[in-house]
C-alpha cells in the first residue's frame, strides 16, 4: 500500500510539473511541432543610372524545400524531381534524409515552368517557395560597377555589396500552421509583419556613355590582343564617374566559371607602374614651387634615361631641352633633372596631395591604395625612377583623379559613383554632392599645365588623341612591366589620359591597355586613338553642356514613377534581334517564354542543331512590351543562317549598312559575327578585303545615331 501511495505521489507531482510548473516550456515545444515562422523577403531596391534608366530590377524564381520530419514518400519525391530537374535521384534522397532539421532546400531559384503541375498536396512535407531574384536589364553593361547577389539576394560585389543594407530593406514574417497531412498553411490568427522594400539607388553613370566605353574596350582588346583594357570617364568639375569598365568583364545574368577574371573591377583594383603619365607630379610640383616655368631650359648634359632590365640606362640626347618640349616629347632626362632639383620630400608631398598611396574612397569594394614610398625608404635612384613613373604603383582611377585635379583649377575632387538614394515612394533619402578635398596646385599652375598638355596632343606624343574643333589636353604613358624581377622589353602598360575642352575642361577620359600583343605598345599609338574614339562618340551623343548636368524632364519623371511602382508579376519581352538563335533560345527558356522559329521563307525550324550559326532578324512581339506574368505570349522568331562550306571568301565592306543588311551579307559567306552596338555599321574587324575562311569571326561596330 505504501508503494502505491509513493508511486501515485510521483505521478501526481509529474503531472503537476508538466501542467503547471513547466507548462510554458511544453507549450513552446508543442507549437514547434505544428507551427513555423516563415520569413517574408522584401523587394530589393532598384538601381538607376543618372538619367533614371533602370539598370537593375527584381523578378521571382521558385525554390523547392522540404521538412524531412514530415516527408512520407521520399523515394517518390526524389524520382519526380530527378525526372524534371536533371539531378540524380540520390541527390534529392540525401537531402530528404538530412537529420536534425525541419527545413532543407532541394533546389534554389529555378524556373517555375520546370515544376509546373507539381502538386505539393500530394507529397507531405514538400514546400514550394517564391523567392526574389535580381534582373540585370543591360546584361554585362556596367556589371563590374553593379556587382551581383547570391541566392539569399545579398550583395557579393559592386554597388550590390557596398549598399547592401540600403538595398535590402527589412524582412517581415508570417506564422504557418501544419494541417492534418503536415502541409504548412498560413495561420491567420497570428500576427504578420509585412516586409519593408529596400531603398532605390541612383548612380552617376550614364549607361549610354558606359556602352560606348565598353564597346571600345572590347574592340581594343581584340585588335591589340591585350591581356586587359580599362577606362574611366569623369566629370571634371564634380568628380562624378560617368562610366567605368575593364575588359574582360562578365554578365551577372549568365555567370560562367570562365568569367572569374571579369568579376574584378580593374579600374580600382589593379595596380601598375604608370610610366610617363606620372610625370605630371614633376611638372606640377616644379611649376608650383617655381623651379620651372613654361620658358625654362633644362640642362640634360647629353643624357637621356630609359629602363633596361632593372637599371636606368643612358643614351645620347641634346645637352639642353626646353621645359615645354620635355613635356611634349616626354623626355625622361628632363624630368629626372627637375625631380632631383625638387628633392624627395617635396616630390613625396605632391604625390600624396595628388592622391597617390591612398584610396580615393569610391563607393565600391576592393579598391587598392597603390604604393608610394616614403622619403625615408628611398634608395639612391628612387627619385630618378619615380620621376618617370617607376617604383610607384597606382590604379587607373587614381591617375584619372589626379589629372582631373589639374583640369579643375588644381582642386582635387573626391570621385564618387552614387548620386542619391530614394525610398520606395521615390522620395530622396540621401544625396551626394561634389566634395572638394584639397587645393593641390594654384589655378595659375593648372592653367600652365593644361597649356603644356595641349602641346602634347598638338605637337607631341599624343597627336592621335586630337579632336576636330575641340582642344584636348593629355599625356601618354608607356611603361615596361616588371617580370621575374626585371623590366621586360616585351610586356608593357600603355596609357593615355586626357580632358576636353582644354581651355574649360568638362570631361576626362583615362585609357590603360595591359600587355598589348599586337606589336604596337606605345601609349600615343594605341591608347590615344581609343581616347579619341570614346570622346568622339560621347560628343555625338551629348553636347558639352549636357554631359555633366542632366535635367530630369517630366517625361523622365514619369519613367521614374513607372519603374518605382512596376508590378513584379509582370514581364517584359526581351530584345532578341541580331542575337544568335542559340542565345535567343537560352534567354527565352530562362524567362519561361514559349517560342516558334521560322526561316525567312516561313518554314518552321524545329531542330535546334546548328542554331549557333543562325541569327534572329525579326521577332514578334516587339522588345520591351509588358505582359502579365500569367499571360506570356508565344514569341515568334525569324532567323537567317548559313552552311559552313569551309570555303575562302573576301570580307566585304559593310560600313554604312544597316545592321540587318550587314548580317545577311556576312552570314551568306558563313562568317561568325560579333556585334557591338546597334544601328548602322561604322567599322569592322578584320578590315574589308581580308581573305577569310567561312566560320571565321568578324567583329562589327554600330552606332544607332547614324
* For residue 320, pLDDT beyond 80: yes
Which tops the pLDDT comparison, 605 or 52? 52
What's the pLDDT at 630?
73
The single residue listed with the C-alpha cell 607631341 is: 460
Quote the cell numbers at residue 655: 560600313
Average pLDDT across the chain, whole number: 81
Interior/surface letters 577-600, b for 16+ CB within 10 angstroms, e for the rest: bbbbbeebbebbeebebebebeee
- Identify the CATH homologous superfamily for domain 45-166+197-203: Penicillin-binding protein 2a (Domain 2) (3.90.1310.10)
* For residue 78, pLDDT beyond 60: yes
Give the mean model confidence (pLDDT) for residues 16-22. 54
Give the mean model confidence (pLDDT) for residues 558-587. 65
**pLDDT range class, residue 564, cuts 50, 70, 90:** very low
Give the mean model confidence (pLDDT) for residues 348-365. 96
Cis peptide bond N-terminal to 248, omega within 30: yes
What's the pLDDT at 561?
44
Q: Poorest-confidence range of 27-31, 449-453, 512-516, 598-602?
A: 27-31
Q: How many CB atoms lie within 10 A of CB 16?
A: 11
Q: How many CB atoms lie within 10 A of CB 87?
A: 14
Give the mean model confidence (pLDDT) for residues 539-565. 54
Q: Poorest-confidence range of 248-252, 262-266, 468-472, 659-663?
A: 659-663
* For residue 308, pLDDT beyond 70: no
Please tell me the distance from the alpha carbon of residue 29 to that of residue 684, in angstroms, as a whole number. Answer: 71
Which residues 6+ apart lie within 8 Å of 449 measured at CB? 280, 283, 284, 287, 406, 441, 473
Beta bridge partners of 182: none
Cis peptide bond N-terminal to 270, omega within 30: no
Which tops the pLDDT comparison, 616 or 394? 394
What's the pLDDT at 556?
41
**pLDDT range class, residue 291, cuts 50, 70, 90:** very high
> Where would I find the H helices in 354-502?
382-387, 396-407, 443-458
Please tell me the distance from the alpha carbon of residue 158 to that of residue 418, in angstroms, as a whole number. Answer: 11
Contact 378, 263 (CB under 8 A): no
Q: Poorest-confidence range of 32-41, 557-566, 667-676?
A: 557-566
Which sequence spans correspond to the domains of the chain? Answer: 2-34, 45-166+197-203, 207-546, 567-703
Cis peptide bond N-terminal to 501, omega within 30: yes
* For residue 437, pLDDT beyond 70: yes
Give the mean model confidence (pLDDT) for residues 302-312. 49
> Where would I find the H helices in 653-695?
659-667
List pLDDT tens digits, range 470-491: 999 999 999 999 888 888 888 9
Quote the cell numbers at residue 215: 564597346
**pLDDT range class, residue 559, cuts 50, 70, 90:** very low
Give the mean model confidence (pLDDT) for residues 12-33. 52
Phi-psi region of 563 (alpha: psi -120 to 50; beta: other; left: phi over 0): alpha
CATH of domain 567-703: 3.30.10.20
What's the pLDDT at 263?
87
Please tell me the distance from the alpha carbon of residue 295 to that of residue 647, in angstroms, as a whole number. Answer: 63
Give the mean model confidence (pLDDT) for residues 427-449. 94
Please tell me the distance from the alpha carbon of residue 460 to that of residue 474, in angstroms, as a whole number. Answer: 10
Please tell me the distance from the alpha carbon of residue 688 to that of residue 245, in angstroms, as a whole number. Answer: 29
What's the pLDDT at 346?
97
- How far is CA 196 from each of CA 37, 294, 423, 431, rounded to the nearest angstrom? 18, 61, 10, 21
Which tops the pLDDT comparison, 44 or 300? 44
- Identify the CATH homologous superfamily for domain 207-546: DD-peptidase/beta-lactamase superfamily (3.40.710.10)
Please tell me the distance from the alpha carbon of residue 278 to that of residue 263, in angstroms, as a whole number. Answer: 28
* For residue 288, pLDDT beyond 60: yes
What's the pLDDT at 377?
94
- How far is CA 254 from each of CA 59, 250, 257, 590, rounded to the nearest angstrom? 15, 8, 10, 10
Q: How many CB atoms lie within 10 A of CB 399?
A: 28
Decide: helix, strand or coil at residue 127. strand
What's the pLDDT at 613?
63
Please tell me the distance from the alpha carbon of residue 312 to that of residue 672, in angstroms, as a whole number. Answer: 47
* For residue 117, pLDDT beyond 90: no
* For residue 704, pLDDT beyond 60: no
List pLDDT tens digits, range 186-244: 556 667 788 888 999 999 999 999 999 999 999 999 999 999 999 999 999 999 999 99
Contact 556, 641 (CB under 8 A): no
* For residue 145, pLDDT beyond 80: yes
* For residue 310, pLDDT beyond 50: no
Give the mean model confidence (pLDDT) for residues 301-314. 49
Amino acid at each position: 500500500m505504501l508503494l502505491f501511495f509513493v508511486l501515485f505521489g510521483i505521478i501526481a507531482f509529474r503531472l503537476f510539473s508538466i501542467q503547471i510548473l513547466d507548462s510554458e516550456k511544453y507549450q513552446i515545444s508543442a507549437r514547434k511541432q505544428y507551427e513555423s515562422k516563415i520569413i517574408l523577403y522584401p523587394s530589393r531596391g532598384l538601381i538607376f543610372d543618372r538619367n533614371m534608366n533602370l539598370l537593375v530590377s527584381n523578378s521571382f524564381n521558385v525554390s523547392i524545400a522540404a521538412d524531412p520530419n514530415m516527408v512520407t514518400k521520399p523515394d517518390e519525391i526524389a524520382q519526380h524531381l530527378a525526372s524534371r530537374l536533371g539531378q540524380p535521384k540520390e541527390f534529392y534522397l540525401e537531402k530528404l534524409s538530412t537529420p536534425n532539421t525541419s527545413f532543407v532546400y532541394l533546389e534554389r531559384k529555378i524556373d517555375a515552368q520546370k515544376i509546373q503541375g507539381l502538386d505539393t498536396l500530394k507529397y507531405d512535407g514538400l514546400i514550394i517557395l517564391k523567392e526574389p531574384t535580381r534582373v540585370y536589364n543591360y546584361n554585362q553593361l556596367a556589371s563590374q560597377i553593379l556587382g551581383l547577389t547570391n541566392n539569399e539576394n545579398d550583395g557579393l560585389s559592386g554597388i550590390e555589396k557596398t549598399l547592401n543594407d540600403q538595398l535590402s530593406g527589412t524582412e517581415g514574417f508570417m506564422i504557418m500552421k501544419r494541417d492534418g497531412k503536415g502541409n504548412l498553411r498560413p495561420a491567420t490568427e497570428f500576427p504578420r509583419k509585412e516586409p519593408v522594400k529596400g531603398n532605390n539607388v541612383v548612380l552617376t553613370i550614364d549607361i549610354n556613355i558606359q556602352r560606348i566605353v565598353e564597346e571600345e574596350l572590347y574592340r581594343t582588346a581584340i585588335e591589340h590582343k591585350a591581356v586587359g583594357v580599362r577606362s574611366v570617364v569623369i566629370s571634371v568639375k564634380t568628380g562624378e564617374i560617368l562610366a567605368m569598365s575593364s575588359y574582360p568583364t562578365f554578365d551577372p545574368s549568365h555567370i560562367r566559371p570562365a568569367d572569374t577574371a571579369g568579376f574584378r573591377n580593374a579600374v580600382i583594383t589593379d595596380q601598375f607602374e604608370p610610366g610617363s603619365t606620372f610625370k605630371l607630379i614633376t611638372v606640377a610640383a616644379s611649376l608650383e614651387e617655381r623651379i620651372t616655368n613654361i620658358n625654362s631650359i633644362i640642362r640634360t648634359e647629353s643624357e637621356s634615361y630609359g629602363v633596361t632590365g632593372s637599371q636606368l640606362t643612358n643614351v645620347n640626347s641634346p645637352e639642353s631641352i626646353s621645359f615645354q618640349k620635355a613635356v611634349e616629347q616626354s623626355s625622361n632626362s628632363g624630368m629626372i633633372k627637375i625631380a632631383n632639383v625638387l628633392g624627395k620630400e617635396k616630390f613625396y608631398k605632391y604625390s600624396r596631395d595628388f592622391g597617390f598611396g591612398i584610396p580615393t574612397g569610391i563607393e565600391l569594394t576592393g579598391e587598392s591604395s597603390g604604393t608610394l614610398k616614403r622619403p625615408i625608404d628611398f634608395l639612391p635612384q628612387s627619385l630618378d625612377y619615380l620621376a618617370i613613373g617607376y617604383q610607384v604603383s597606382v590604379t587607373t582611377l587614381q591617375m584619372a583623379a589626379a589629372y582631373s585635379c589639374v583640369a579643375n583649377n588644381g582642386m582635387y575632387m573626391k570621385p564618387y559613383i552614387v548620386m542619391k538614394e530614394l525610398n520606395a515612394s521615390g522620395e530622396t533619402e540621401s544625396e551626394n554632392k561634389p566634395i572638394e578635398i584639397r587645393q593641390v596646385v594654384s589655378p595659375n599652375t593648372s592653367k600652365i599645365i593644361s597649356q603644356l598638355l595641349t602641346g602634347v596632343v598638338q605637337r607631341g606624343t599624343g597627336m592621335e588623341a586630337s579632336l576636330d574643333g575641340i582642344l584636348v589636353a593629355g599625356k601618354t604613358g608607356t611603361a615596361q612591366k616588371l617580370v621575374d624581377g626585371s623590366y621586360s622589353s616585351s610586356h608593357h602598360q600603355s596609357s593615355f589620359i586626357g580632358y576636353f575642352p582644354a581651355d574649360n575642361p568638362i570631361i576626362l577620359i583615362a585609357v590603360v591597355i595591359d600587355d598589348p600583343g599586337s606589336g604596337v605598345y606605345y601609349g600615343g599609338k594605341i591608347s590615344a586613338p581609343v581616347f579619341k574614339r570614346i570622346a568622339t562618340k560621347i560628343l555625338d551623343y551629348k553636347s558639352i553642356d549636357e554631359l555633366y548636368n542632366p535635367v530630369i524632364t517630366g517625361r523622365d519623371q514619369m519613367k521614374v514613377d513607372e519603374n518605382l511602382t512596376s508590378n513584379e508579376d509582370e514581364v517584359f519581352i526581351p530584345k532578341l534581334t541580331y542575337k544568335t538563335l542559340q542565345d535567343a533560345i537560352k534567354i527565352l527558356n530562362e524567362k519561361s517564354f514559349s517560342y516558334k522559329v521560322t526561316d525567312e521563307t516561313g518554314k518552321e525550324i524545329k531542330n535546334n542543331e546548328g542554331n549557333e550559326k543562325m541569327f534572329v532578324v525579326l521577332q514578334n512581339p516587339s522588345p520591351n512590351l509588358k505582359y502579365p506574368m500569367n499571360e506570356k505570349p508565344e514569341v515568334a522568331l525569324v532567323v537567317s543562317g548559313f552552311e559552313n562550306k569551309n570555303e575562302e571568301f573576301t570580307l566585304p565592306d559593310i560600313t554604312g549598312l544597316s545592321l540587318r543588311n550587314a548580317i545577311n551579307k556576312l552570314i551568306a559567306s558563313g562568317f561568325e559575327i560579333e556585334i557591338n552596338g546597334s544601328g548602322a555599321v561604322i567599322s569592322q574587324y578584320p578590315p574589308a578585303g581580308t581573305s577569310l575562311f567561312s566560320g571565321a569571326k568578324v567583329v562589327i561596330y554600330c552606332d544607332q545615331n547614324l
